[in-house]
DNA sequence: ATCATATAGTAAACTGGTTAACAATTGCTA
DNA sequence: TAGCAATTGTTAACCAGTTTACTATATGAT
């Protein structure tokens, strides 16, 4: 039964050695040239990574059929404990690793998911997306899946590459981050043949599977905080008003102000486009229009940072003159000056959940996904009592 | 030659229609109910995404062999202009999309690359990595490649999953971000059978392909700035001293101080671990040990932010009392208070370059990669003239 | 002893491409 | 006009798995 006779190994070895020598010559300002040969010999001890053993090799050496090995690989109960162990041993002995292209080709699944990002410049550099993706990658890894990243550039969508992702069998499913109802291409992914989950948003008509943070709750928490601190003339910097979750926040903002006896005018609100720059511009606009504003609710932390920045530059002190509250709870904003009071969104957990549900959906274990995760307030330095009250003391 | 007779389409169609109807029923708080049916009918005009046409179908309908279609697909010059056009037309007519698992299985390449990140918590949420990855994803897309994300958790490496990535044919090559010489597993990927590029670092012994920023230049620029502002007692917050690029910065820091007549003691340096918290702690340590320090050079922006934060909390004003300078030029630190003077690292461009070179390497078009990208200083508010000089005026 | 059923494994078809070796046609030279 | 190469396309082997239908043996009930 002896060990598999791998063909032609010496030849390959010979082919590889000279380049190694060549490379050593490039070793211009080498720190420790003596290491050169060692490193290159190490991975080629004439055996380890070169053999390319396939399922037929394993079958032959284990004295079973290819089908049996395949079933062992997939924990098929049809295989007896005895053969299971025997084959497994041979698999390890030969260092066999199934080719996943072949697996994907003949099975139904690729074990790969995609994250689709909006076509923003340097979208990945945004910690908001980063947190979510971190959660996705972690969970995907645990569930034996790989993750790929795509950006939905206009051209990409026009060419139908988002559908191609499924049709060419790149992925089993897609997680869409940072999209809203304006992104109509999402409707292409509505059928059961295109498993997809919309992350941290929903479609108003409830047609797409989704998981998102409870922005209504978050907005309540933020408004409670500001109102309890005595603020009444509260401005808002929103973004993407076409997004249902954005509208949640805006709704609560308006409702709570009306309840508090102050009817909010549209001029109390400005669009900050989710960016620092936008937030800065919006804050300036608000404070110019209404110098009596004592607090601003911001749709995300970036805009809040921009708002603080621009208010400070214009001679207002935060929080003494104006309190600022954000949404997201990005890590580094705990270290800004002043540190930011904000609504914590469980973005990492959201990524984990989305990933889990998507895989279930791919496997047909769930029909419909629509889950909401709670938020909580993180009280820091950018908020304080409303000025009138503070002065009255 | 009539159109391909696809089997059993009506059946499938029937299976799919009812669910579509079902979903429409979920249309609870519909924004524009009239769109609902439109949306669902559009992708299912009885034909488009259901047929699953393969290369044999195309061949049959176009009246050529499968090999010919394959060659058309791959722009093989062996095919005449005439057939090329004819086959291409049929491909479009049938909406044929080659199955990339099959392509990968029979060809040499998968057209997929991986980005490997260090096992930090929420690594993706770090804008430093995000910038680089943005560049990688953009370029990969343009070059017809997909990108997957992996994290090098200890368990992952122990199980040899990094090699599995190649051996199971998940990817053609790997880009390693955020690693240094302590991560010995990288040596496993030294051979030409494992195309890999180390991004924004190098191995001291020059054995691994790499592209990185010119940290020496960056350090010179930062030190020039501080020295010209009159600072002489300059502290440093470093991180990962085992990293060659970190050592570049430390070297320049020491050399320039010696040149300026001030011999730096080790107590002028503290490890900030690349985090905000670490930077805060390190700054406190430095200022406690040497209250006369007037400037601090920080190994990255996060630590600089932490340093500013902790100095401010301890009653020091930045930059009046202490100037702070960082490395990275992360977007949002232009909006912090005070905004950060920093060395701009071309991280996005680095990602682009790394991706390009890796693909060339996979294709055997380059032997050895070792490129360096220049940095430049971004002067903002966190630096000012040294106090003694300012006072003397 | 006989038939039905469970259990364990196998052979062969199938997934959907690429590519090396071969064949047919055409153009050009000697 | 035979001989040769160049052009263009085809045949068939190959990549490396999964899965269905079938077979052989062991078990249990009648």
Å from the A96 CA to the D11 C1': 33
Instruction: Check residue A24 and give its pLDDT.
Output: 29
- Give the position of tokens 């340097």: A122
- Which nucleotide has the least CA–C1' distance to A80? C8
Which residue in chain A has the smallest CA separation from B209? A23
Flag the least confident range among A129-133, B2-6, B200-204, B276-280: B2-6
CA nearest neighbour of A275 among A311, A222, A238: A238
Question: Exposed, middle or buried, A52 (CB in 10 Å: 0-12/13-18/19+)?
Answer: exposed
Distance B80 CA to C30 C1' (A): 29
Q: What is the 3-state secondary structure (H, E, C) of chain B?
A: CCCCCCCCHHHHHHHHHHHHHHHHHCCCCCCCCHHHHHHHHCCCCCCCCCCCCCHHHHHHHHCCCHHHHHHHHCCCCCCCHHHHHHHHHHHHHHCCCCCHHHHHHHCCCCCEEEEEECCCCCHHHCHHHHHHHHHHHHHHHHCCCEEEEEECCHHHHHCCHHHHHHHCCCCCEEEEECCCCCCHHHHHHCCCCCCEEEECCCCCCCCCCEEEECHHHHHHHHHHHHHHCCCCCEEEEECCCCCHHHHHHHHHHHHHHHHCCCCCCHHHEEECCCCHHHHHHHHHHHHHHCCCCCEEEECCHHHHHHHHHHHHHCCCCCCCCCEEEEEECCHHHHCCCCCCEEEECCHHHHHHHHHHHHHHHHCCCCCCCEEEECCEEECCCCCCCCHHHHHHC
Question: In terms of Cα–Cα distance, which of A144, A48, A54, A45 is closest to A90?
Answer: A54
Nearest chain A CA: its distance from B193 CA (Å): 9
Q: What is the mean pLDDT of residues B12-25?
A: 28
Calculate the alpha carbon distances from A208 to A188, A246, A256, B128, B363 in Å.
10, 17, 30, 33, 41
Nucleotide closest in space to B59 (CA vs C1'):
D10
> Average pLDDT, whole number, for chain B?
86
Interface contacts (A, B; CB < 8 Å) = 250
Tell me the two tokens of residue B115: 């980005």
Tens digits of per-residue pLDDT, B114-134? 999 999 988 898 999 999 999
For chain B, positions 211-270, list CB contacts with chain A under 8 A: none
Q: Which residues of B touch A207 (CB under 8 A)?
A: 23-24, 26-27, 36, 39
State yes or no: pLDDT of B18 exceeds 80: no
Which tokens hold the place of A173? 């499913």
Record: contact B207-A36, CB cut-off 8 A:
yes
Long-range contacts, B162-169 (Cβ 8 Å, 24+): B162/B116, B162/B188, B162/B189, B163/A49, B163/B188, B163/B189, B163/B194, B164/A97, B165/B114, B166/B193, B166/B194, B167/A49, B167/A97, B168/A97, B168/A98, B168/A99, B168/A100, B169/A99, B169/A100, B169/A101, B169/B104, B169/B105, B169/B110
Q: Is B349 on the interface with A (CB under 8 A)?
A: no
Sign (positive or negative) of CA dihedral A153, A154, A159, A160: positive
Residue A332 to residue B169, Cβ atoms within 8 A: no
For tokens 């598999």, name the residue. Answer: A4
Q: What is the pLDDT of residue A17?
A: 29
Per DSSP, the three-state class of A341 is strand
Interval B26-45: pLDDT, tens: 222 222 222 222 222 233 33
User: Could you give the CA distance from residue A244 to residue B29 in angstroms, rounded to a whole number?
Assistant: 12
Determine if strand C comes within 7 Å of the CB of B20.
no
Q: What percent of chain B has pLDDT over 90?
A: 79
Residue with CA nearest C13 C1'? Answer: A106
pTM of the prediction? 0.86
- For residue A345, the 8-state DSSP code is P
Residue nearest to nucleotide D9 (CA to C1'): B68
The residue with greater pLDDT, B14 or A89, is A89
Mention every residue, 6+ apart, whose C-beta is less than 8 A from residue A146: A111, A112, A113, A140, B148, B150, B170
Reported confidence tier of residue B205, pLDDT bands at 50, 70, 90: confident
CB atoms within 10 A of CB B265: 10
Query: What are A146's strand-pairing partners?
Result: A112
| CA angle B305–B306–B307, rounded 5-degree value | 90
Nearest CA in chain A to B32: A205
Question: Distance between CA atoms of B287 and B129, rounded to whole angstroms?
Answer: 30
Determine the angle formed by the axes of helices B81-94 and B66-73, rounding to 10 degrees.
90
Among the residue ranges A321-330, B6-15, B215-224, B258-267, the one predicted with the least confidence is B6-15
Residues 55-114 of B with CB under 7 A from strand C: 55-56, 66-67, 69-71, 73-74, 96-99, 102-103, 105-108
Residue A392 class from Cβ within 10 Å (0-12 exposed, 13-18 middle, 19+ buried)? exposed
Give the nearest partner residue to B137 out of A141, A149, A348, using CB atoms. Answer: A149
For B:5-34, CB contacts with A below 8 A are: 16, 19-20, 23-24, 26-33
* Predicted local distance difference test score (pLDDT) of residue B156: 94
pLDDT tens per residue, range B361-387: 999 999 899 999 999 999 999 999 997
What pLDDT score was predicted for residue B59?
95
Query: If you measure CA to CA, which chain A residue comes closest to B23?
Result: A207
Q: What is the pLDDT of residue B202?
A: 94
Is the N-terminal amide bond of A164 cis, ω within 30° of 0? no
Low-confidence ranges of chain A (pLDDT < 50): 1-49, 393
Decide: helix, strand or coil at residue A19: helix
Helix, coil or strand: residue A271: strand
- pLDDT higher than threshold 80 for residue B102: yes
For chain B, state the CA radius of gyration.
Answer: 29
Q: Chain A contact for B317, CB < 8 A?
A: no
Tokens of A127: 């910690």
Give the span between the Cα atoms of B393 and B381, in whole angstroms: 20
Name the A residues in 56-95 with CB < 8 Å from any B CB: none
Q: Which residues contact A62 (CB under 8 A, 6 or more apart)?
A: A68, A69, A86, A87, A90
Q: Using the CB atom, is residue B52 less than 7 Å from strand C?
A: yes
Query: What's the confidence (pLDDT) of residue B15?
Result: 28
Contact: B125, A130; criterion CB under 8 Å: yes
CB contacts of B40 in chain A (<8 Å) are 190-191
Largest CA distance in chain B: 93
Q: Which is it for the CA torsion B63, B68, B72, B73, positive or negative?
A: positive
Distance CA B185, CA B191 (A): 13
Taking a contact as any Cβ pair under 8 Å apart, which residues of chain B between 114 and 143 contact chain A?
Answer: 121-127, 129-131, 133-134, 137-138, 141
Reported as a pLDDT band with limits 50, 70 and 90, residue B390 is: low
Q: A308 vs chain B: nearest CA distance in angstroms?
A: 9
The confidence band for B298, taking pLDDT boundaries of 50, 70 and 90, is: very high
Give the containing element (helix H, strand E) for A296.
strand A295-298
| Distance in Å, alpha carbon of B91 to nearest chain A alpha carbon | 14
Q: How far, in Å, is the CA of A73 from the C1' of nucleotide C6?
A: 23
User: Which residue shows structure tokens 């992708």?
Assistant: B43
Token pair for A360: 């279930």
Contact between B138 and A151 using a beta-carbon 8 Å cutoff: yes
Q: Among B207, B305, B319, which would you mutate to test the A interface (most chain A Cβ atoms within 10 Å of its Cβ)?
A: B207
Taking 80 as the threshold, does the pLDDT of residue B48 lie above it? Answer: no
pLDDT band at B50 (very low <50, low <70, confident <90, very high): low
Q: Which residues in chain B have their CB less than 8 angstroms from residue A100's CB?
A: 168-170
| Torsion, Cα of A86, A91, A95, A96 (10° steps) | 170
């Amino acid at each position: 039964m002896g060990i598999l006779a791998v063909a032609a190994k010496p030849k390959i070895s010979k082919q590889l050695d000279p380049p190694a020598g060549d490379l050593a010559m490039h070793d211009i300002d080498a720190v420790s040239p003596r290491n050169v040969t060692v490193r290159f010999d190490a991975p080629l001890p004439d055996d380890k990574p070169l053999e390319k053993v396939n399922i037929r090799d394993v079958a032959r050496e284990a004295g079973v059929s290819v089908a049996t090995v395949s079933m062992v690989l997939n924990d098929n109960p049809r295989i007896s404990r005895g053969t299971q162990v025997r084959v497994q041993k041979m698999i390890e002995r030969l260092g066999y690793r199934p080719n996943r292209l072949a697996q994907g080709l003949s099975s139904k699944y690729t074990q790969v998911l995609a994250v689709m990002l909006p076509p923003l410049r340097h979208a990945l550099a945004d910690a908001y997306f980063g947190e979510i993706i971190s959660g996705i990658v972690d969970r995907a890894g645990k569930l034996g899946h790989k993750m790929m990243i795509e950006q939905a550039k206009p051209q990409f969508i026009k060419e139908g590459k988002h559908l191609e992702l499924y049709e060419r069998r790149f992925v089993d499913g897609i997680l869409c981050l940072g999209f809203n109802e304006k992104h109509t291409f999402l409707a292409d992914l509505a059928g059961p043949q295109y498993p997809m989950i919309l992350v941290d948003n929903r479609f108003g008509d409830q047609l797409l599977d989704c998981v998102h943070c409870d922005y209504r709750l978050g907005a309540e928490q933020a408004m409670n905080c500001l109102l309890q601190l005595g603020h009444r003339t509260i401005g808002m910097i929103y973004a993407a008003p076409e997004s249902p979750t954005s509208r949640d926040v805006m709704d609560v903002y308006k409702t709570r102000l009306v309840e508090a006896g102050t009817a909010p005018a549209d001029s109390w609100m400005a669009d900050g486009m989710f960016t620092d720059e936008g937030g800065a511009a919006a804050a300036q606009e608000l404070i110019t229009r209404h110098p009596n504003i004592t607090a601003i609710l911001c749709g995300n932390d970036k805009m809040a940072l921009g708002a603080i920045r621009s208010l400070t530059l214009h001679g207002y002190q935060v929080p003494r003159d104006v309190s600022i509250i954000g949404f997201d709870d990005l890590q580094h904003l705990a270290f800004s000056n002043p540190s930011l009071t904000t609504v914590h969104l469980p973005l990492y957990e959201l990524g984990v959940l989305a990933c889990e549900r998507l895989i279930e959906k791919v496997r047909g274990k769930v029909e419909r996904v629509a889950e909401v995760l709670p938020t909580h307030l993180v009280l820091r330095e950018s908020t304080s009592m409303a000025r009138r009250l503070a002065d009255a003391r």
